[in-house]
């Protein structure tokens, strides 16, 4: 009976170690920082020079100044009482207009 118990412990230990290794080694594939559905993408009117773009994800505005390699959530001047649903860029005045649902 004790040999069976020892073998059972080895099997359980092997299963636990396998699960831990898989959890550490196999990471989900994520292609961009917010990891969610991107509702809208807007490029800076001078994207060729400044690599700046904006995205809306889950009613949050994110800005990248390195062509999408890194993202910063923009909160200054944006109220959170209603959902952010869209934005427009104006090349002539460099203004950004936000839309809410």
Quote the tokens at residue 36: 């969610």
Q: What is the pLDDT of residues 20-77, one digit of tens each?
A: 777 666 555 445 555 667 888 888 888 889 999 888 887 888 889 999 888 888 876 6
Considering only residues 90 and 3, tell me which one the structure prediction assigns the higher pLDDT: 3
What's the pLDDT at 89?
73
Can you give the residue ranges of every domain in the chain?
Answer: 38-100
Q: Taking 70 as the threshold, does the pLDDT of residue 83 lie above it?
A: yes
- Region of 31 (left: φ > 0; alpha: ψ -120 to 50; beta: rest) is alpha
């Amino acid at each position: 009976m004790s040999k069976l118990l020892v073998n059972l412990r080895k099997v359980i230990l092997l299963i636990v170690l396998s699960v831990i290794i898989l959890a550490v080694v196999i990471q989900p594939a994520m292609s961009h920082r917010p990891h969610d559905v991107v509702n809208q993408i807007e490029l800076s009117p001078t994207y060729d020079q400044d690599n700046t773009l904006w995205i809306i994800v889950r009613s949050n505005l994110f800005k990248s100044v390195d062509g999408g390699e890194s993202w910063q959530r923009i909160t200054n001047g944006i109220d959170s009482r209603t959902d952010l649903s869209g934005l427009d860029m104006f090349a002539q005045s460099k203004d950004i207009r936000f839309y809410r649902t």
